Amino acid sequence: MGSKQAFWTVPAKDGEPDLWVCMSCLSEVFCRKVPMPACPTCHGVSTYEAFTLAAVRDWGTDELIAKAAAAQQEEAALSAAASATPPVESVQ
């Protein structure tokens, strides 16, 4: 893929799963986002379902589980970096 993948963000809600798995190919998973316009592997549209990491571990392949864990770690790192960035103050 020559261009950068675009994503729809999925807001995090307490108690709800944050991993989105493509149910067409079962080989793509994203944390709090889904690719647009389609799955980068199978090109399925609107085929994502939400799961927790524990649920993915119950039924996913080793590759899918690794992708899910990496996606959650990446999201946690991005959230930590955003929290650590001091707010920008405007000068009046």
Q: 4-43 pLDDT, tens per residue?
A: 789 999 887 888 899 999 999 999 999 999 999 899 999 9
Instruction: Give the pLDDT score at 85.
Output: 64
Structurally, how many domains does the chain consist of? 1
Whole-angstrom distance, CA of residue 28 vs CA of residue 19: 10
Whole-angstrom distance, CA of residue 57 vs CA of residue 79: 23
Domain that holds residue 48: 6-76
Is 83 inside any structural domain?
no
Residue 1 one-letter amino acid = M
Is 36 inside any structural domain?
yes
Is 34 inside any structural domain?
yes
Is 63 inside any structural domain?
yes
| Secondary structure of 32-63 as H, E, C letters | CEEEECCCCCCCCCCCEEEECHHHHHHHCCHH
Reading the block at residue 50, the tokens are 């939400």
How much is the pTM?
0.80
Where does residue 54 rank: exposed (0-12), middle (13-18), buried (19+ CB within 10 A)? Answer: exposed
Q: Span 72-80, mean pLDDT?
A: 89
Is 17 inside any structural domain?
yes
Residue 51 has pLDDT above 80, yes or no: yes
Is 43 inside any structural domain?
yes
Instruction: Give the pLDDT score at 1.
Output: 45
